[in-house]
Amino acid sequence: MATTLMRNTAPREHPGRYYGFMAAVAVGAVVIAALTAAQAGSPDTGWFSAPFALWLTAGLALFAELRPARWAGLGMSPIAMISLTYVYSTMVTWGFVPALIVQSAAMMLLYVQLGASLWRSVFNLSQIGIALCAAWWTWTGIAGGEWTASLTQVAGLLAAGMVWSVVSTAQVSLAMKMRAGGSWADHFWAWFRSEWALRATLTAISPLLAVAASTSWWLVAVSAIPIFSVYRILQTAARREEQAERDPLTGLLNRKGFQQAVEAKLVDAGETNTAVTVMILDLDRFADVNSALGHDVGDKLLLELADRFLADKPLGKQIARLGGDEFAFAWSELDGMTDPLECAREIRARLDKAIVIDDVSIEIDGSVGIVVYPDDGKDFQTLFRHADIAMDESKKRAGSYARYAPEFDHHSPERLILLGDLRRALDHPDAPGVNLFYQPQVCLATGEVIGAEALLRYHHPERGMVNPAEIIETAEHSSVMRMLTERVVDIALRQLRCWNDAGYRLRMAVNVSVRDLQSPEFTDYLTERMDAYGVDASRLQLEITESALMADPRRVVDNVQCLSDLGLGISLDDFGTGFSSMQHLRRLPVTEIKIDKMFVTTLIDDPDNAAIVSSTIDLGRALDVAVVAEGVEDEKVRKQLEDWGCHAGQGWHFAKPMSADDFDRWLHLHRGNS
Ligand code: C2E
Ligand code: MG
Ligand code: MG
């Protein structure tokens, strides 16, 4: 709300009606002011032969707006308009026209400083012009005549000041209603409540000033002192208010100040259909700097960073330190922001150079979360929460920045509902919904089916089939993952037993998640289930993805080693898509590499992917681990892989993932054909 009056934008809906209203006020002001001026006539004191005291009053009105007092108790207007008290006294001592000129000049001075657009300045000059006419009519209606400071005249002047405020507020409230919606009365009262005390004070001073102006210039000069005191009190209060919105260490905005600044931007952006970008930067390992080098150095580092963010081309219109090692930035399209990712790169670029403090060179790094209004949220709270989530995601990926995406949000209402439903489906061993499909893995040289990959299928009672990747992402951050994997392992082992009993010597590949690999209990569960179904460990293959290995490498590596010691095969899934495939190959007891389908499906047409696949097969041979290609979609790819010496393939060319019954039928047919 705070900047409503100060905005240069027009509302998105019915801008024509809004501008029409502004124009009507402007035309109305000219007509009413002309009529009022005609009625008021020339001032008795004359135009240029008026006493110096009146000229001084007019001059002080302009002087008061040279550095306009900010109004800390701001409800809607952040400016106090101290000059009004001089305008009222000019009106009663010199006349309407001089008062109108003084008021217009003082306000023009104010609007120029506020950077108001032309139409906004014209509207405001017009509406306060009309307010002054109303004040003049009130004054002449009650008292009028030469200023003698009689009781009726003082009452008339006070009433005129009140009418001025009411008429001005009434017009602005109408503009507000057109701009922001809501009821006119609500806007009127909101404004009145926040402004009445200041307006009443300025009005109450004006009779004293009028007495001074009609007596001598030095009395006018002396009476400027209490007015200056009011000005100082307002400035001090405004400064306090501003300090409450600043971070004491860096002087940047704090969280509260940032919120206010961004909310004002969102109102403008909403009305102009433009975008706003909000970013959160979190420094990496800042706590280490504090504990190793002391808080003094930590503070200096934050100060240096704040300087860098403000230097040259400041990073964004609003920069804040949210506390600790977190900074926030906001840009809007209205400020000239174009590409949000470019902004993020700019932030990161300022971290590139090491910071030298007390001869110690400190390398600093950080992760940036990006959100854009209106795509990623409509209000500050949502945007801020999503920026935080994006920042976490960028940290997790060890990337430098990430734009928010709903799938990062493991706590969105839809996900929480999905998680609850999944938990219910897993609570009872016989509850329907969670099942496995099986996709064959085929030896490329002989065409023999060597095994199957078990792939999760969840049929939600309302949503139908849910994408397995979404389920894993949702469940992975909760205890449901453990229940899910246990169910998957149980079904897969039972199925393996059935195939064994039917005379098929197959192996089963099961995907495991990060969470499973972090606890040693998973190993115990697997051993217990393999015993229960009488399945040999060598028949089971665990598919581990690289992201799973990134989470807590040491613990994961220990557990994988235990599983391998049991005799299970360890397959590195989606090979080539992560950051540190090679490192994992060395650290883990890997028995198989699964080349990601991203490289395999297109290897015929894409020489780069072909090179990646063929060299991965060579690597597997050199390290003596099997290589399985996933995503084999046609014969050409199959043949090429066979020529390169790839052991096995999996993909739609052989079969899509199928239910256990379909798999049995397929297996039967395949045996018959081969
Ligand atoms: P993944 O382990 O890499 O599984 C292979 C994915 O590729 C499967 O997707 C499969 O349906 C698909 N696919 C197979 N052949 C082809 C092909 O020729 N072309 C193309 N374009 N795609 C093919 P799905 O079933 O949607 O599973 C997605 C991912 O979800 C899996 O990727 C795995 O990471 C995860 N997942 C599935 N089931 C489980 C599970 O029981 N536990 C865990 N932790 N993760 C699972
Ligand atoms: Mg897999
Ligand atoms: Mg895979």
Per-residue confidence band for 569, with pLDDT thresholds at 50, 70 and 90: very high
Q: What is the mean pLDDT of residues 348-376?
A: 86
Q: How far apart are CA 284 and CA 149, in angstroms?
A: 70
Strands 449-460 and 434-443: antiparallel
The 10s digit of each residue's pLDDT in 624-671 is 999 999 999 999 999 999 999 999 999 999 999 999 999 999 998 887
pLDDT for 235 equals: 81
Q: How far apart are CA 329 and CA 306, in angstroms?
A: 11
Q: How far is the CA of 599 from the centre of ligand 3 (A)?
A: 11
Q: How far is the CA of 512 from the centre of ligand 3 (A)?
A: 11
Q: What is the mean pLDDT of residues 500-510?
A: 93
Please report the atom of ligand 1 found closest to the CA of residue 545: 34
Domain ranges of the chain: 4-244, 255-408, 433-673
pLDDT for 156 equals: 95
Q: Which residues contact 59 (CB under 8 A, 6 or more apart)?
A: none
Specify the residue with its C-alpha closest to ligand 1, atom 32: 469
Residue of 491, 547, 630 with the most ligand 1 atoms within 8 Å of its CB, for mutation: 630
The 10s digit of each residue's pLDDT in 273-289 is 888 999 999 988 787 78
Nearest ligand to the CA atom of 469: 1
Residue of 407, 442, 456, 662 with the most ligand 1 atoms within 8 Å of its CB, for mutation: 456
Residues 255-408, CATH architecture: 2-Layer Sandwich (3.30)
Q: What is the mean pLDDT of the chain?
A: 86
Per-residue confidence band for 2, with pLDDT thresholds at 50, 70 and 90: very low
Question: Is residue 1 predicted with pLDDT exceeding 60?
Answer: no
| Closest to 230 (Cα-Cα) out of 88, 81, 91 | 81
**Residues with beta carbon inside 6 Å of ligand 1?**
439, 455-456, 468-469, 472, 488, 511-513, 543, 545, 573-574, 597, 601, 630-633, 650-652, 657
Specify the residue with its C-alpha closest to ligand 1, atom 26: 468
pTM of the complete model = 0.56
Per-residue confidence band for 8, with pLDDT thresholds at 50, 70 and 90: low
Matching CATH topology for 255-408 and 433-673? no
Please report the atom of ligand 1 found closest to the CA of residue 456: 38
Phi, psi of 361 (to 5 degrees): -95, 120
Specify the residue with its C-alpha closest to ligand 1, atom 11: 657
Q: How far apart are CA 641 and CA 659, in angstroms?
A: 27
Q: How far is the CA of 536 from the centre of ligand 3 (A)?
A: 24
Q: How far apart are CA 439 and CA 451, in angstroms?
A: 8
Q: How far apart are CA 133 and CA 29, in angstroms?
A: 9
Coil, strand or helix: which one is 158?
helix
pLDDT-wise least confident of 247-256, 400-409, 525-534: 400-409
Token reading at 630 = 């996933």
Token reading at 332 = 């809007």
Nearest ligand to the CA atom of 482: 1
pLDDT above 90 coverage of the chain, percent: 44
Question: Is residue 335 predicted with pLDDT exceeding 80?
Answer: no
Per-residue confidence band for 311, with pLDDT thresholds at 50, 70 and 90: confident
Continuous H helices in 183-254: 184-215, 217-243
Q: How far apart are CA 514 and CA 113, in angstroms?
A: 58
Please report the atom of ligand 1 found closest to the CA of residue 467: 26
Specify the residue with its C-alpha closest to ligand 1, atom 7: 631
Q: What is the mean pLDDT of residues 579-590?
A: 76
Q: Which residues contact 564 (CB under 8 A, 6 or more apart)?
A: 570, 588, 589, 591
Q: How far is the CA of 549 from the centre of ligand 2 (A)?
A: 14
Query: Which run of H or of E encompasses 140?
Result: helix 118-142
pLDDT for 549 equals: 60
Strands 569-575 and 540-545: parallel
Please report the atom of ligand 1 found closest to the CA of residue 481: 44
User: Which homologous superfamily is 433-673 in?
Assistant: EAL domain (3.20.20.450)
Please report the atom of ligand 1 found closest to the CA of residue 512: 44
Per-residue confidence band for 396, with pLDDT thresholds at 50, 70 and 90: confident
| Closest to 671 (Cα-Cα) out of 492, 505, 540, 538 | 505
Q: How far is CA 655 from the centre of its chain?
A: 44
Phi, psi of 167 (to 5 degrees): -65, -45
Specify the residue with its C-alpha closest to ligand 1, atom 4: 455
User: What's the CATH fold of domain 4-244?
Assistant: Arp2/3 complex 21 kDa subunit ARPC3 (1.10.1760)
pLDDT for 73 equals: 47
Q: Which residues contact 185 (CB under 8 A, 6 or more apart)?
A: none
Question: Is residue 674 predicted with pLDDT exceeding 70?
Answer: no
Q: How far apart are CA 46 and CA 38, in angstroms?
A: 15
Per-residue confidence band for 77, with pLDDT thresholds at 50, 70 and 90: low
Q: How far is the CA of 597 from the centre of ligand 3 (A)?
A: 7
Per-residue confidence band for 3, with pLDDT thresholds at 50, 70 and 90: very low
Q: How far is the CA of 548 from the centre of ligand 3 (A)?
A: 13
